[in-house]
């Protein structure tokens, strides 16, 4: 295993936690930062990955909601694709 400096390990830990969706408040406390803003300012490049995951999650929730509503409609109101 290559030698890593402590700051590199902290950075890797924070980056991986945020990329896995761990709440920034938890990451802040693990790192000992005084504010979430400090944590997010340092690790803001991870945010696009988190934003993509959030967009995918809301898209899936929306699709499930539409499918559930569609299944509740009486047959005469359901549209079929031909």
pLDDT tens digits along 21-32: 899 999 999 999
DSSP letter assigned to residue 32: T
pLDDT, residue 11, reads: 87
φ, ψ (nearest 5 deg) of residue 12: -65, -45
Query: What percent of the chain clears pLDDT 70, i.e. is strictly above it?
Result: 88
Asked which of 4-13, 20-29, 46-55 is least confident by mean pLDDT, the reply is 46-55
Integer CA distances (angstroms), 54 to 8, 29, 43, 82, in order: 27, 23, 17, 33
What pTM was estimated for this model as a whole? 0.55
- Is it the case that residue 64 has pLDDT exceeding 80? yes
């Amino acid at each position: 295993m290559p030698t890593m400096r402590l700051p590199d390990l902290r950075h890797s830990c924070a980056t991986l936690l945020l990329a896995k969706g761990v709440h920034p408040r938890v990451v802040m406390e693990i790192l000992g930062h005084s504010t979430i803003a400090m944590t997010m300012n340092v690790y803001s490049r991870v945010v696009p990955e988190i934003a993509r995951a959030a967009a995918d999650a809301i898209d899936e929730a929306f699709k499930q909601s539409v499918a559930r509503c569609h299944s509740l409609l009486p047959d005469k109101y359901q549209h079929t694709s031909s």
